[in-house]
Amino acid sequence: MSAADPVNRLYITDTTLRDAHQSLIATRLRTEDMLPLARLIDGAGFFSAEAWGGATFDTCIRFLNENPWERLRELKAALPKTPIQMLLRGQNLVGYRHYSDDVVDRFVERSAVNGVDIFRVFDALNDIRNMKRSMDQVKNVGGHLQGAISYTLSPVHNTETFIAMAEELYAAGCDSICIKDMAGLIMPEATRELITGIKKTVDIKVCLHSHSTSGIAPMSYQAAIEAGVDILDTAMSPFSLGTSQPPTESVVASTQGTKRETGIDLLTLRKIRNNCLKIREKYNALVNPISERVDSDVLIYQLPGGMISNLVSQLQEQDALDRLDDVFAEVPKVRRDLGYPPLVTPTSQIVGSQAVLNVLLGGERYQNVTKEVKDYVRGLYGRSPAPISDEIRRLIIGEEKVITGRPADLLEPTYDKMFEQAKLAGLASTEEDVLTYIMYPAIAPSFLKGERKAEAIPSSEPVAKASSTVPSQMEVEVDGEIFNIRII
Amino acid sequence: MSAADPVNRLYITDTTLRDAHQSLIATRLRTEDMLPLARLIDGAGFFSAEAWGGATFDTCIRFLNENPWERLRELKAALPKTPIQMLLRGQNLVGYRHYSDDVVDRFVERSAVNGVDIFRVFDALNDIRNMKRSMDQVKNVGGHLQGAISYTLSPVHNTETFIAMAEELYAAGCDSICIKDMAGLIMPEATRELITGIKKTVDIKVCLHSHSTSGIAPMSYQAAIEAGVDILDTAMSPFSLGTSQPPTESVVASTQGTKRETGIDLLTLRKIRNNCLKIREKYNALVNPISERVDSDVLIYQLPGGMISNLVSQLQEQDALDRLDDVFAEVPKVRRDLGYPPLVTPTSQIVGSQAVLNVLLGGERYQNVTKEVKDYVRGLYGRSPAPISDEIRRLIIGEEKVITGRPADLLEPTYDKMFEQAKLAGLASTEEDVLTYIMYPAIAPSFLKGERKAEAIPSSEPVAKASSTVPSQMEVEVDGEIFNIRII
Ligand SMILES: [Co+2]
Ligand SMILES: [Co+2]
């Protein structure tokens, strides 16, 4: 590197403690395994360690009998030098429905107090109204606010619309912007255009978050590095690739001695990696080999990898696997009818289930419509990227009124009421526990009473059948109704 | 794509039929599984299908009881539209020692007659004198000549030396040039510099061949695409990544709608991939999960992935695994002493074994020297990239004379003599059989007499221990001496 080439440092967010294990071992990493790893990670010099939020909160309570707040405090103690980053689903927080503003405010405040430094906030529909309250509160509590754009491909999404969203996020006070490519669909050329475009328009750090599901992510990361991306999300190699992120070590090595050096030492990474190898051994039975390989169907159908296997298992249950190609053809039509939502939790499930219904019932489409699709058309999830046609709207909800305001404006404050409930039931002793109860009213009581048990880590050889070894689906209660969710 | 952006087509060499299964399932793919796959591959529109040479010839005879020449003819029939490409080790052909020129001439001629269209020729030391005879013969028989540069990192290898070699290859009549990065060491910036540099210097198609061992290859492929590489080597996704090539589908998809479009259809690739998935199922027990993952040690020690595991197993046998770090430190010193040979068959084995000896015997280095290192210092493998110091030379071969000419000049013609021998022994009925006999005099007799049996495809679950499931090492006879080779 000559003196004429100043370093324009590339920053790394390591996702090993959150997205990587969520993607490869169904979010099952225990706190006891996280802490020694976190202590090693702390020495690397990462921009941040993504370590909380997403599906980790739910999994702690549902499967691991761990207190997610306690985990956060312990992680904070293990990561004194490295900012802790969380993934926050906007008004959905770490749940699957909109929470009232008072709950959002308290949740963000408690997250910051217990250890979160950087909040990555997204909304499945890119409806900033669903992100605004939590974003404002991140600023109020002094956190680093990273606004995320849910990346997708459609006739109404393109570089210009994403740049426009980046401008809105910038105006909303974001400290950085993340391009969140949950399905691994972003191509190298689109990456370059989008990063260059955002950086030309707003003066802000840009992060790229992708998944290697389709095998494209490492190529797009290279394009991003050249286009001047500021931060890349990577995972330590034993938990990298497949449905997870590209490997940390490779991205670090690839930039050594160039203008985009990370300043991270490969021998330090080797120690972290060796620790990860041991952890991987322990959890090996949870790794579905399929999730580690390139899924090139993603390139053709543009569906997140998890959604494809979910459709397969839905059809298998109905003994209708021969209709898979019909469903693949129906999914983009349903998505079009619903105004091209990005396919991410919960929209991937909403679109997928309806496509299966449309195909299996035959005859007229939308003869039978799920409650979620009705709510979606009613506007209860927010504003769809493209308007829904009058014809489809009538087909689905008849002459019912559509909500055009911010969905959470319909919600009464709930914290105080739930606090009273929890107190009466002898459940909650802390504000954090009340928040846990509000997030998951169905399972939190048994957790808070200490009646739940941690599931065992399977020690057998991995079984090929996805549905049995990787609990990719879970039932959650939404407004009293059981909702089939696939975490992707 | 606007009219102002002419397409500068990217060509794809698919390696599924050769390097991919050599890298991931120890070269064990059977012809019966290759043929239906080849028929599908033929419809894709690849620049070529790498399908013969490398370790496939040896494995056919040694493990599969298959006639490699018959395989070639059958592949040719299955690939009427797609050129068949082979990997040829220069004067070593598909063996592990230099053959006399008359054998080289006949081997190349018979390869072309039986179906090879494109010959990729390389030498482990980049000594073009070891490549010249076979290259001339490729031109004589009307084949496409692709000269390969064995890529490595060292104080005497850099962009300039590689460009100088490209010029020599161009002057030698090559139709295209391949940057052969067998260890997956080439970084994105070096890729760009090298491709740009070669294309500026000589007017010739440039191909990049890399392995994903270190996780860098997909990033370097992206840099190569932008730098104007003409051909990329890829493998169908079920046999991609890890120690194999980046995925074909991903590279094709990543360039769709750009100036570097491949013209290859993703739905056609899907059919090929579905066939590959079935094959992979059949051979699954041969896949070492380790070989599918990123090996970030490659980034630190710059050793091919296979060489690291080979050193581990050598030390394990000696109950001296605690000396691994010492051996890792010794390997670069031995390599320096020997003039920085690229580490590829057979130099990786030569350097590795000597490093183990130097460490385990303690005291003075080179107290005990392998026959291969002596021969290497004698000049019998060709010219080392950097000169060997007088001190090291004396330490290893005393005052013995060093050969400075082309090693094969020392070899008498052998074909006629071996043909007589084979006839007397009742072994060979065709010229091809005689060549098989010359390649592998120790095992060919039992093969040619029909006394060998194909090994069974293991049906059990994969076992973690590399040495037992993936026969990565084999013993070959070189000049009557048993030589321990690891195919990488
Ligand atoms: Co993610
Ligand atoms: Co190779």
- A329-363 pLDDT per residue, tens: 999 999 999 999 998 878 888 999 999 999 999 88
Interface mutation target, options A225, A258, A282, A294, chain B, most CBs of B under 10 Å: A294
CA–centroid distance, B487 to ligand 2, in Å, is 11
Rounded distance from Cα B19 to ligand 2 centre (Å): 6
DSSP assignment of A293-342 equals S--THHHHH---HHHHHHHHHHHHHTT-GGGHHHHHHHHHHHHHHTT---
CA A249 to chain centroid, in Å, comes to 23
Query: Mean pLDDT over residues B304-323, rounded?
Result: 83
Q: Supply the pLDDT for residue A461.
A: 53
All residues of chain B having their beta carbon less than 8 Å from the beta carbon of residue A269 are 296
Are the C-beta atoms of residues B198 and B228 closer than 8 Å to each other? no
Angle, alpha carbons A413-A419-A420 (nearest 5°): 105
- Cα A6 from chain centroid? 35
B-chain CB neighbours of A247 within 8 Å are 215, 294, 296
Chain-centroid distance, C-alpha A233: 13
DSSP string covering B55-105 = THHHHIIIII---HHHHHHHHHHH-SSS-EEEEE-GGGTTSSS---HHHHH
Quote the strand ranges of A330-478, DSSP E.
Answer: 473-478
Chain A residue whose CA is closest to B259: A189
* Domain total of chain A: 1
What was the pLDDT predicted at B85? 98
**B91 part of a folded domain:** yes
Instruction: Identify whether A486 is part of a domain.
Output: no
SS (H, E, C) B188-208: HHHHHHHHHHHHHHCCCEEEE
| Closest to A182 measured CA to CA, from A1, A376, A347 | A347
- State the residue range of the domain holding B273: 11-286
Neighbours of B319 (CB within 10 A): 7
Give the pLDDT confidence score for residue B469 in this predicted structure: 31
On whether the CB atoms of residues B68 and B57 are closer than 8 A, the answer is: yes
Mean pLDDT in residue range B206-234: 97
| B residues 265-284 lying closer than 8 A (beta carbon) to A | 266-267, 269-270, 273
Strand (E) or helix (H) holding A75? helix A68-78
Residue in B13, B10, B15 with CA at minimum distance from that of residue B244 = B15
Expressed in angstroms and rounded, the spacing between residue B179 Cα and the centre of ligand 2 is: 10
- In what helix (H) or strand (E) does residue A86 lie, and over which residues does it extend? strand A84-88
Q: B219 φ, ψ to 5°?
A: -70, -40
User: Is A388 within 8 Å of A377 (Cβ atoms)?
Assistant: yes
Average pLDDT of chain A to the nearest whole number: 91
B88: β partners: B121
Q: Report yes or no: A383 and A402 within 8 Å, Cβ to Cβ.
A: no
Report the pLDDT value the prediction gives residue A303, as an integer from 0 to 100.
Answer: 79
Neighbours of B265 (CB within 10 A): 14
Side chain identity at residue B107, one-letter code: F
DSSP-assigned letter for residue A484: E
In this structure, is residue B347 part of a structural domain?
no
By C-alpha distance, which of A5, A62, A65 is closest to A32?
A65
Q: Does B158 touch chain A (CB under 8 A)?
A: no
What lies within 8 Å, CB to CB, of A389 at 6+ separation is A337
Q: Is A305 on the interface with B (CB under 8 A)?
A: no
Q: Is residue A381 assigned to a domain?
A: no
Residue A267 within any structural domain of the chain: yes
d(CA A149, CA A128): 10
Instruction: Specify the DSSP class assigned to residue A96.
Output: S
Which helix (H) or strand (E) segment holds residue A486: the answer is strand A481-486
Return the pLDDT at A485.
41
- Residue A474 has which token pair? 């879970």
As given in the structure block, the two tokens for residue A96 are 């699957």
A82: CATH: 3.20.20.70
User: What is the distance between the alpha carbons of residues B355 and B334, in angstroms, rounded to a whole number?
Assistant: 6
Of A289 and B123, the one with more pLDDT: B123
CB-CB contact of B10 with B261 (8 Å): yes
CA distance B222 to chain A (A): 5
- B343-369 pLDDT tens trace: 887 888 899 999 999 999 988 999 999
Q: Where are the alpha helices (DSSP H) in B259-346?
A: 266-282, 289-292, 297-301, 305-317, 324-337
Say how far apart CA A189 and CA A389 lie, in whole Å.
Answer: 32
The answer on pLDDT for B30 being more than 90 is yes
Q: Do A215 and B237 touch (CB under 8 A)?
A: yes
Dist CA B477 CA B440 (whole Å): 8
Q: Please determine, for residue B225, whether its predicted confidence score (pLDDT) is greater than 70.
A: yes
Query: Hey, is the C-beta of B221 within 8 angstroms of any chain A C-beta?
Result: yes
Q: What is the identity of the amino acid at A232? A: L
- Contact between B56 and B86 (Cβ < 8 Å): no
What is the bridge-based pairing of β-strands B84-88 and B144-150? unpaired
Chosen for mutation from A24, A234, A249 (greatest number of chain B CBs closer than 10 Å) is: A249
Q: Measured between CB atoms, does A189 come within 8 Å of chain B? A: yes
Between the CA of B20 and the centroid of ligand 2 the distance, in Å, is 8
Average pLDDT over residues B226-243: 96
d(CA A135, CA A104): 10
Among A85-89, B80-84, B318-322, B388-392, the range scoring the smallest mean pLDDT is B318-322
The DSSP 8-state label assigned to residue B284 in this structure reads: G
* C-alpha to C-alpha distance for B56 and B19, rounded to whole angstroms: 9
Under DSSP, is residue A214 helix (H, G, I), strand (E, B) or coil? helix
pLDDT of residue B478: 34
The two tokens of residue B415 are 């074909």
Query: Chain A residue with minimal CA distance to B237?
Result: A294
- Residue environment code for B180-213, b if the CB has 16+ CB neighbours within 10 A, otherwise e: bbbbbbbbbbbbbbbbbbbbeebebbbbbbbbbb
Residue A399's pLDDT is what? 95
pLDDT per residue rounded down to tens, chain A (488 residues): 444 567 799 999 999 999 999 999 989 999 999 999 999 999 999 999 999 999 999 999 999 999 999 999 999 999 999 999 999 999 999 998 999 999 999 999 999 999 999 999 999 999 999 999 999 999 999 999 999 999 999 999 999 999 999 999 999 999 999 999 999 999 999 999 999 999 999 999 999 999 999 999 999 999 999 999 999 999 999 999 998 999 999 999 999 999 999 999 999 999 999 999 999 999 999 987 778 888 888 888 877 766 777 788 889 888 998 998 899 899 999 999 999 999 887 888 899 999 999 999 988 999 999 999 999 999 999 999 999 999 999 999 999 999 999 999 999 999 999 999 999 999 988 999 999 999 999 999 999 999 999 999 998 554 443 333 333 344 433 333 333 444 33
| Of the partner residues B215, B266, B292, the one whose CB lies closest to the CB of residue A300 | B266
In the predicted model, is pLDDT for residue B423 greater than 50? yes
Contact call for residues A85 and A50 (beta carbons, < 8 A): yes
Q: What is the pLDDT of residues A294-324, one digit of tens each?
A: 888 888 887 776 677 778 888 988 899 899 8
State which amino acid sits at residue B249: E
Note the ligand closest to the C-alpha atom of A54. Answer: 1
How far does Cα B80 stand from its chain's mean position? 25
Rg of chain A, C-alpha, whole Å: 22
**Looking at this protein, which amino acid is placed at residue B391?**
E
Residues in chain A with CB shorter than 8 Å from the CB of B297 are 270
Q: Do B254 and A222 touch (CB under 8 A)?
A: no
Rounded Cα distance between A454 and B196, Å, is 57
For residue B131, what are the CA distances in angstroms to A18, B48, B85, B410? Answer: 51, 22, 17, 16
Instruction: Calculate Rg over the CA atoms of chain B.
Output: 22
Cα distance between residue A148 and residue A180, in whole Å: 6
Contacting residues for B426 by C-beta, under 8 A, at least 6 apart: B449
Euclidean distance between CA atoms B47 and B248, whole angstroms: 12
- The 10s digit of each residue's pLDDT in A439-463 is 999 999 999 999 999 999 998 554 4
Across the range B224-250, mean pLDDT stands at 96
- Give the three-class secondary structure for B123: coil
How does pLDDT run across B249-287, given as a tens digit for each residue?
A: 999 999 999 999 999 999 999 999 999 999 999 999 998
- Whether B243 is in a domain gets the answer yes
Extract the runs of DSSP E, i.e. beta strands, from B26-112: 48-53, 84-88
Residue B229 located in a structural domain: yes
Distance in angstroms (rounded) separating the CA atoms of residues B281 and A264:
39
Alpha-carbon distance of B181 to B166, in angstroms, equals 15
Cβ A215–B247 below 8 Å, yes or no? yes
Domain membership of residue B103 (yes or no) is yes
